[in-house]
């Protein structure tokens, strides 16, 4: 057994009992490289391992592709190095194990301490060849596509249609809303049940409006994973509150002391006079309801002897009371119960439609793996699981991985699982990822013998910057004993593995002063400080702006920054900030569609006229609506006529055809193309056209229904993958800290430091010690305010937000390669990143003007204050071509729009009637033609009729009508003519080339007569002039083809033979 060097030079454990592995990789320490190394080690050890038995779970599609590519690249690098060594070997002594003097082969190639070292080149070459051959089978995928493959192979057990479709984005919100309305209708109108209606009433009492209830339920349904857990208590009235409540009541009734505070006096009077001996939660709420306003106003400082009970009755701050706590709890219980029922109803509807959404993929996989038999077969499918970005795992994903990583006896299988992550980068709280799950799962793995590996070689930041980062975060993430409810990972110092320093700087952290006289202009102050700083620090090179990145935590305040950057002529690259349905192009298109769909909506007509599709001025609109004389009213009339023409087209066009007609006849693409940010408009127009197409294919709704649905849906854009940055453009990068995950930039600039994201809206979370579920941010459960230890558990939500804010600060700062700029406004609230900066640097002082470097606890820090040079406010560029913009700035050009040509050619009612008449006895008509085609004109038609009736599944009535008809036709002269002639072919395929195109046709019947051949074509229905012309032309082409083939003349005949007609038309 030859020794194989592991990472630390200590010999790796012998091959079979490899341990599970928890790799903690700080920011910039090459997390992906660590995973690739582990997979390589595995492949080198086990050449028999089939790649499809290795699963790599990543967070994004891009990461999945990247890891697979890097593994293949590494294998190829190693195999080419081995072949070089191989040739050396063949020259010297073959087959001997290598001695130490020879140069070792390791990966990553050329790195001072390679993660993987080749022990036995011969065996390595064989296993690399095997793995390279089937590398495509490697299952590198997101956890969602992994779950999808599980569900598709166990559809019956998962209760799913194996061809299930994934519904997301616009379509998902459409489905959720329609199902919500159907569920509400069933629960209240169709099958009202008292107990259910009472819950609706309780929640209505709390929320006040139905649409508020809808928002609460749809928001809460995002925490389906928690709502599924039944063993968490939302706080119990009897245990946590009732005893104190009864004591307070008894105390006030027994102690007849009076209180100076009028509200407390009114409460005391009521409690003493109104008999009540306690009871259920509802009973208490009804009993306390009349004195609710007074309870809220109690000022317990003036309650004298009754201070203690009164303090309890007015629990919480002024304006709150024990009544609100109880009513809030009741509303919380109602909300949770309603949401659970909604989710059950929703699952039923999805089941019927055979659709799932991304959450279902995880939840249903977790559920199907409860079935022991399925779990066994799923486990048998692969031997190794690698999980990337493990700090972003949520409870459901953790449960799935936990099940797959264990054996039937519930023990973790050694060597099967490798998880990689950095708890300090867990910033997706809003997407259910909770670091407590990371801590619990990694502790479980390590208690079961997993090895812990910490990567601390950082390849991103210059050494001086890394020193400062280490100093900052050793203070912000101190080593402290573990709090089960709020996980605060300790900081591990990183080593700068980058030898060369990219830029010589006096300090790597700059505090940039930003303060404006008028307090409301704080964002302007920050924007001008940043713009001025960039202007002074760009080196003028062709790509000198690319190294700057401004990372925000909210994009809603962006306008001041963008406006300032434009005024300083500093270009920027920006991800989408709002729902694309709120942008220019989709709003314009839907406005015009609405005007087409709703003729009686005058607002819609006016809005459509004001879009670039028609570009009427408001003067023309007002004149058109005959409110102000003077300006020409006929422009409005021409516009109304154009809309009416589109409305006619909409009768016979599909939604997609109508939109295509609109786009081509109004040239809107040329208009957007000429606009300054035309590319973005065109991309949005394409997206809304794709949406309309999907809507039509899946829902088949009319233009009206599409306009109604899309106006309702303002779907927020999913987080765009950061890869879409345009590398070529020389521009400052602007994005959220979340979007910057996994990216790196030269200089990171952090504005809006004091912003502290609050939970925002209803929040549901669980706490482990004590084991409680807490509902806060909307109606609050008792557990939120009355934790068993007495302290309110809702403060844990705030503590977790604070902890996540620090981790967000860590992610933001560690994006930097050379330096970090913190935009500091001394007057700002001491919250968010601002608070973190104060803990590190205390209250900083700034020079009047310029940059001053001072030594601080975290190393050299620059304190800079810049006098903002007032740039002139440059007029925004509207068109790409400045020259054309100048031309068009003058007099308004007269309107010259045109109405579109009609789209569909309508058939005359007579033509429609003729075809439909044929349709009535379609079956009989076809049967008659089939018989005539095959009948030689003499033999008894009965057997042929019966045989062909079976083929056409014609019913008895059709058969008898054809039989009667045949008797008549038998005597028809044309039939005799066919009978006498020699039949050459029935359904004869003919192929010929017609103006360059190869044509294939079938001739019903070809007969040969003394003076030439005759092509016969059977036609149903009566000979309508419109149709005869076209049919005649068609048969003429067949005759030309036949005579070309035979060299003999060939005539044609159209036989309009049906149940009523028998007309022959010569060709």
Partner 1 sequence: MLLRFAPYREIAHEVASRLAEGRRGRDPLSPWAEEVIVPSRGVAEAIAGELLARLPEGVAGVRLQTLEELAKRILADAGQTPRVANDLERRLAMRAAVRSVDHPMMESRGVAAMLERAYRDVRDSGVTLSDLSRRAAKARGLRSPRRTEAIVRAWSEYERLIAQLNAVDAADRLAQAARLAGPHTPPQLLAGFYDMTGAQFQLLEALLRAGRVAAIWMPTEEPFARTFANAIAPYAEVVRDLAIEIRKPRVEASQYETRLDELRDVCARVAALLADGTPARAIGIVARSLEAYDLRLLNRFAAEQGFSTTAAEEIPLPAHRVGRAATNLLRLRERGFLRAEVLELVRDGLHLRTKVDADALDAATRRARIAGGTSEELRVYRGRSRPLDDYIALVAELEELTASLDLDKLSTLIRLETEQDLAAAEKLDAIAATFRRTQVWNKGLDVSAVIDAIANESLPQGAKGAVWCGELLRFRGRSFTHLFAVRMQDDVFPQRRTEDPLLPDSDRALLGIREIGDGREEEELLLSLVHDAAANVHFSFATGDGFGKVLRRSRYLRSCPLPVAGSQHDAPPRQPATSNRQLNRQLQLLVRAGTNSPFDGYIGPLAAEPPSLSPTQLEDFGECPQKFLLKHILGVTDIDHPERELQIHHRDKGILDHRVLERFYRFAEGEALHLPLSAELAGRLEGFIDEQFEEHAAAAPPFNPTVRNIERRATKRILREFVVTDIEDLETAGLVPRHFEYRFGRKHQVPDHPEPFVLQAAGVPVRVEGTIDRIDAGDGRFRVVDYKAGQALRHKELDKKIDRGVRLQLALYAMAVAEFFQADPANVSGTIKPLVPGDTKPEKFAFVLEEKRATLLETLELFIRAILSGTFPAFPSESDDFNSCKYCPVNHSCRTRHDLDERYAVQRFKDPRTLLAGTPPR
Which parts of 640-679 interact with partner 1 (CB under 8 A)?
651-652, 654-656, 660, 664-675, 678-679
Per rule CB under 8 A, is residue 977 in the interface with partner 1? no
Closest to partner 1 by CB, 142 or 470: 142
User: Two tokens at 44?
Assistant: 């080198």
Backbone angles phi, psi at 451, to 5 degrees: -85, 140
Backbone angles phi, psi at 55, to 5 degrees: -110, 130
Q: Give the nearest distance from C-beta 74 to partner 1 in angstroms.
A: 16
Span of 42-50, 107-115, 146-154, 768-776 interacting with partner 1 by CB under 8 A: 146-154
Q: What is the DSSP letter of 306?
A: G
Q: Which stretch binds partner 1 (CB under 8 A): 251-259, 444-452, 887-895, 1018-1026?
A: 887-895
The least distance separating partner 1 from the CB of residue 887, rounded to whole angstroms, comes to 8
**What secondary structure does DSSP assign to 18-60, as a single string?**
PPPEEEEE-TTS-HHHHHHHHHHHHHHH-TT--GGGEEEEESS
Binders of partner 1 among residues 914 to 933 (CB under 8 A) are 915-916, 919, 922-923
- Whether residue 863 contacts residue 845, with contact meaning beta carbons closer than 8 Å, is answered with yes
Q: How far is the CB of 254 from partner 1 (least distance, A)?
A: 25
Instruction: Tell me how far CA of residue 571 lies from CA of 563, 795, 825, in angstroms.
Output: 11, 43, 25
For the chain, the distance separating the N- and C-terminal CA atoms, rounded to the nearest angstrom, is 92
Rounded to the nearest whole angstrom, what is the least distance from the CB of residue 270 to partner 1 in the complex? 9
Least distance to partner 1 from the beta carbon of 454, Å?
31
CA distance 1063 to 1067: 13
If one asks whether residue 984 binds partner 1 (CB under 8 A), the answer comes out as yes
Question: For partner 1, which is the closer residue by CB, 227 or 655?
Answer: 655
Decide: is 630 part of the binding site for partner 1 (CB under 8 A).
Answer: yes
Of 278, 478, 700, 847, the one binding partner 1 (CB under 8 A) is 700
CB contact set of 613 (below 8 Å; sequence gap of 6+) = 588, 592, 662, 666, 668
Encode burial over 752-767: b for 16+ CB neighbours within 10 A, e otherwise: bbbbbeebeebbbbbb
User: Cβ closer to partner 1: 486 or 529?
Assistant: 529
Q: Determine the Cα–Cα distance for residues 448 and 643; give it in Å rounded to an integer.
A: 72
Q: Alpha-carbon distance 488 to 471, whole Å?
A: 17
> Closer to partner 1 at the Cβ: 308 or 711?
711
Distances (CA, A) of 697 to 166, 653, 656, 700: 15, 14, 10, 6
Give whichever of 737 and 923 is closer to partner 1, judged by the CB atom. 923
CB of 236 to partner 1, least distance (A): 27
CA distance 463 to 497: 8
What's the closest the beta carbon of residue 751 comes to partner 1, in angstroms? Answer: 18
- Angstrom distance (rounded) from CA 889 to CA 874: 16
Judged by CB, which is closer to partner 1: 590, or 962?
Answer: 590
**Residue 1028 near partner 1 by CB under 8 A:** no
Please identify which residue in 123, 340, 403, 878 interacts with partner 1, judged by CB under 8 A: 878
For the bound state, the minimum distance from the C-beta of residue 1050 to partner 1, rounded and expressed in Å, comes to 10
Contact with partner 1 (CB under 8 A) among 147, 606, 822, 928: 606
Residue with tokens 């085609």: 933
Whether the CB-CB separation of 843 and 759 falls below 8 Å is answered with no
Site size toward partner 1, by CB under 8 A: 170
Residues 56-75 within binding reach of partner 1 (CB under 8 A): 60-62, 64-65
Residue with token string 């709890």: 329
Report the residue from 16, 92, 136, 1025 that binds partner 1 according to the rule CB under 8 A.
136
Site for partner 1 contains 98 (CB under 8 A): no
What radius of gyration, in Å, describes the C-alpha atoms of the chain? 39
Q: Give the one residue of 11, 159, 484, 902 binding partner 1; rule: CB under 8 A.
A: 159
Any residues with CB less than 8 A from the CB of 775 and at least 6 apart, and which?
Answer: 234, 332, 335, 336, 762, 763, 764, 781, 783, 784
Binding residues among 320-379 for partner 1 as defined by CB under 8 A: 351-352, 354
513: helix, strand or coil = strand
3-state secondary structure of 562: helix
713, 703, 580, 705: which is closest to 643 by C-alpha?
A: 703
- Measure the CA–CA gap between 883 and 891, rounded to whole angstroms: 16
CA distance 677 to 573: 12
Taking CA 646 as the corner, what is the angle to CA 645 and CA 650, rounded to the nearest 5 degrees? 120
Minimum distance of partner 1 from residue 924's CB (angstroms): 12
Q: Are 267 and 323 in contact (CB under 8 A)?
A: no
Where does this chain touch partner 1 (CB under 8 A) — which range of 12-20, 278-286, 336-344, 712-720? Answer: 712-720
Determine if 604 is a binding residue for partner 1 (CB under 8 A). yes
Stretch 371-430 residues interacting with partner 1 (CB under 8 A): none
- Does residue 869 belong to the site contacting partner 1 (CB under 8 A)? no
In angstroms, the CA 997 to CA 1013 distance is 25
Name the minimum Å distance from CB 121 to partner 1. 26
Per-residue contact flags (x/-) with partner 1 for residues 548 to 577, judged by CB under 8 A: -----------x---x--------------
- Is residue 514 involved in binding partner 1 (CB under 8 A)? no
| Contact status: 229 vs partner 1 (CB under 8 A) | no
Q: Does 693 bind partner 1 (CB under 8 A)?
A: yes
Q: Quick one: 505 or 597, whose CB is closer to partner 1? A: 597
Contact 127, 95 (CB under 8 A): no
Q: Whose Cβ is closer to partner 1: residue 495's or residue 602's?
A: 602
| C-beta closer to partner 1: residue 739 or 773 | 739
Window 170 to 199, contacts with partner 1 (CB under 8 A):
184-185, 188-189, 192, 197
**Cβ 765 vs Cβ 778: under 8 Å:** no
With H, G, I as helix, E, B as strand and everything else as coil, classify residue 161: coil
Residue 139 beta carbon to partner 1: minimum distance, rounded to whole angstroms: 8
Count of other CB atoms within 10 angstroms of residue 162: 12
> Nearest distance from residue 1015's CB to partner 1, in Å?
11
Shortest reach from residue 638's CB to partner 1, in Å:
11
248/284 Cα distance (integer angstroms): 13
Q: Which of residues 24-63 bind partner 1 (CB under 8 A)?
A: 52, 60-62
CB closer to partner 1 out of 155 and 414: 155
Taking Cα atoms as reference points, which of 582, 523, 548, 563 lies closest to residue 734?
548
Q: What angle do CA 35, 40, 41 make, to 5 degrees?
A: 100
Answer for which of 97, 410, 943, 1010 binds partner 1 (CB under 8 A) is: 943
Structure tokens, 860: 């050299």
Q: Is 884 in the site for partner 1 (CB under 8 A)?
A: yes
Among residues 996, 1010, 1025, 1030, the one that binds partner 1 under rule CB under 8 A: 996
Backbone angles phi, psi at 863, to 5 degrees: -110, 115
CB of 103 to partner 1, least distance (A): 31
721 binds partner 1 (CB under 8 A): yes
Q: Binding to partner 1 (CB under 8 A): which residues in 1035-1064?
A: 1041-1042, 1044-1047
Name beta bridge partners: 821.
510, 749
Secondary structure (3-state) at 563: helix
Q: Which stretch binds partner 1 (CB under 8 A): 19-27, 147-155, 277-285, 414-422?
A: 147-155
Binding marks (x or -) toward partner 1, 584..603, rule CB under 8 A? Answer: x--x--xx--x---xxxxxx
For partner 1, the closer of residues 443 and 947 by Cβ is 947
Structure tokens at 271: 């409690």
Q: Which is nearer to partner 1, 296 or 1032 (CB)?
A: 296
> Which of 156, 380, 500, 968 touches partner 1 by CB under 8 A?
156
């Amino acid at each position: 057994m030859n020794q194989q060097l592991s990472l630390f030079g200590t010999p790796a454990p012998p091959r079979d009992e490899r341990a599970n592995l928890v790799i903690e990789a700080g920011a910039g320490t090459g997390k992906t490289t660590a995973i690739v190394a582990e997979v390589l080690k595995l492949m080198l050890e086990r050449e028999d391992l089939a790649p499809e038995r290795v699963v790599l779970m990543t967070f994004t599609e891009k990461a999945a592709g990247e890891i697979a590519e890097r593994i293949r690249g590494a294998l190829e690098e190693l195999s080419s190095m081995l072949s070089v060594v191989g040739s050396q070997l063949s020259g010297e002594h073959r087959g001997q194990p290598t001695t130490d003097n020879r140069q070792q082969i390791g990966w990553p190639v050329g790195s001072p301490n390679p993660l993987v070292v080749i022990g036995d080149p011969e065996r390595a070459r064989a296993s690399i060849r095997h793995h390279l051959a089937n590398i495509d089978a490697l299952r590198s995928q997101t956890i969602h596509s992994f779950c999808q493959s599980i569900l598709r192979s166990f559809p019956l057990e998962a209760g799913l249609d194996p061809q299930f479709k994934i519904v997301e984005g616009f379509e998902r919100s459409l489905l959720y809303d329609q199902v919500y309305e159907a569920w509400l209708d069933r629960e209240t109108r169709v099958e009202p049940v008292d107990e259910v209606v009472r819950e609706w009433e309780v929640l209505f009492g709390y929320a006040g409006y139905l649409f508020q209830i809808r928002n609460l339920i749809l928001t809460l349904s995002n925490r389906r994973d928690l709502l599924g857990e039944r063993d968490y208590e939302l706080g119990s009235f009897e245990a946590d509150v009732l005893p104190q409540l009864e004591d307070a009541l008894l105390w006030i009734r027994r102690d007849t002391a009076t209180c100076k505070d009028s509200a407390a006096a009114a409460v005391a009077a009521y409690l003493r006079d109104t008999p009540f001996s306690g009871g259920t939660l509802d009973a208490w709420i009804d009993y306390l309801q009349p004195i609710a306003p007074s309870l809220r106003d109690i000022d317990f400082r003036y309650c004298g002897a009754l201070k203690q009970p009164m303090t309890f009755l007015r629990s919480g701050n002024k304006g709150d009371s024990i009544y609100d706590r109880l009513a809030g709890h009741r509303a919380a219980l109602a909300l949770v119960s309603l949401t659970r029922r909604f989710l059950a109803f929703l699952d039923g509807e999805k089941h019927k439609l055979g659709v799932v959404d991304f959450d279902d993929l995880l939840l249903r996989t977790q559920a199907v793996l409860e079935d022991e038999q399925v779990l066994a077969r799923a486990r048998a499918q692969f031997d190794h699981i690698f999980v990337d970005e493990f700090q972003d795992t949520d409870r459901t994903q953790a449960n799935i991985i936990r099940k797959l990583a264990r054996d039937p006896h519930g023990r973790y299988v050694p060597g099967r699982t490798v998880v990689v992550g950095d708890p300090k980068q867990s910033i997706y709280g809003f997407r259910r990822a909770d670091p407590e799950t990371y801590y619990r799962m990694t502790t479980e793995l390590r208690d079961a013998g997993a090895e812990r590996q910490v990567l601390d070689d950082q390849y991103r930041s210059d050494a001086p910057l890394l020193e400062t980062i280490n100093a900052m975060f050793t203070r912000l993430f101190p080593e402290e004993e573990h709090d089960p409810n709020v996980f605060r990972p300790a900081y591990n110092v990183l080593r700068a593995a980058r030898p060369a320093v990219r830029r010589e700087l006096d300090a790597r952290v700059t505090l940039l002063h930003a303060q404006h006289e008028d307090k409301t202009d704080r964002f302007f102050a920050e924007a001008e400080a940043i713009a001025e700083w960039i202007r002074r620090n760009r080196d003028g090179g062709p790509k000198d702006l690319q190294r700057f990145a401004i990372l925000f935590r909210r994009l809603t305040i962006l306008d001041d920054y963008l406006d300032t950057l434009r005024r300083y002529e500093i270009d920027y690259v920006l991800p989408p900030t709002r729902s694309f349905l709120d942008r220019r192009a989709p709003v314009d298109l839907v406005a015009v569609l609405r005007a087409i769909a709703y003729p009686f909506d005058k607002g819609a007509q006016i809005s459509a006229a004001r879009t670039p599709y028609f570009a009427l001025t408001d003067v023309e609109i007002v004149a058109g609506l005959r409110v102000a004389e003077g300006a020409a009213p006929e422009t409005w009339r021409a516009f109304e006529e154009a809309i009416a023409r589109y409305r006619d087209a909409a009768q016979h066009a599909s939604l997609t055809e109508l939109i295509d007609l609109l786009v081509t006849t109004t040239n809107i693409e040329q208009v957007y193309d000429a606009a300054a940010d035309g590319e973005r408009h065109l991309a949005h127009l394409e997206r809304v056209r794709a949406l309309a197409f999907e809507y039509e294919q899946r829902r088949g709704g009319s233009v009206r229904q599409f306009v109604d649905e899309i106006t309702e849906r303002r779907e927020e854009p999913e987080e765009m993958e950061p890869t879409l940055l345009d590398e070529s453009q020389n521009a400052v990068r602007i994005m959220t800290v979340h979007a910057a995950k996994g990216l790196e930039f030269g200089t990171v600039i952090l504005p809006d430091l004091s912003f502290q994201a609050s939970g925002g809206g209803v929040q549901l979370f669980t706490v482990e010690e004590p084991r409680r579920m807490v509902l806060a941010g909307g109606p609050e459960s008792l557990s939120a305010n009355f934790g068993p230890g007495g302290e309110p558990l809702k403060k844990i939500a705030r503590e977790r937000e604070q902890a996540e804010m620090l981790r967000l600060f860590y992610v933001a700062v560690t994006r930097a390669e050379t330096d970090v700029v913190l935009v500091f406004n001394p007057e700002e609230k001491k919250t968010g990143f601002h608070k973190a900066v104060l803990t590190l640097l205390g209250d900083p002082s700034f020079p009047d003007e310029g940059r001053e470097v001072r030594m601080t606890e975290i190393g050299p820090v620059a304190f800079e204050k810049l006098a903002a040079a007032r740039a002139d406010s440059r007029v925004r560029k509207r068109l790409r071509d400045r020259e054309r913009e100048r031309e068009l700035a003058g007099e308004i050009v007269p309107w010259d729009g045109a109405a579109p040509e009609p789209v569909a050619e309508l058939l005359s009612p007579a033509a429609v009637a003729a075809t439909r008449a044929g349709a009535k006895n379609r079956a009989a008509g076809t049967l008659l033609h089939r018989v005539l085609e095959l009948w030689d004109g003499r033999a008894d038609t009965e057997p042929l009729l019966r045989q062909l009736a079976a083929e056409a599944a014609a019913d008895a009535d059709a058969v008898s009508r054809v039989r009667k008809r045949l008797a008549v036709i038998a005597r028809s002269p044309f039939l005799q003519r066919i009978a006498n002639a020699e039949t050459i072919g029935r359904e004869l395929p003919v192929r010929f080339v017609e103006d360059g195109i190869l044509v294939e046709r079938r001739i019903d019947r070809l007969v040969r007569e003394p003076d030439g051949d005759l092509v016969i074509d059977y036609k149903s229905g009566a000979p309508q002039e419109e149709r005869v012309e076209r049919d005649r032309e068609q048969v003429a082409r067949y005759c030309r083809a036949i005579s070309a083939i035979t060299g003999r003349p060939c005539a044609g005949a159209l036989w309009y033979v049906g149940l009523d007609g028998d007309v022959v038309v010569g060709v």
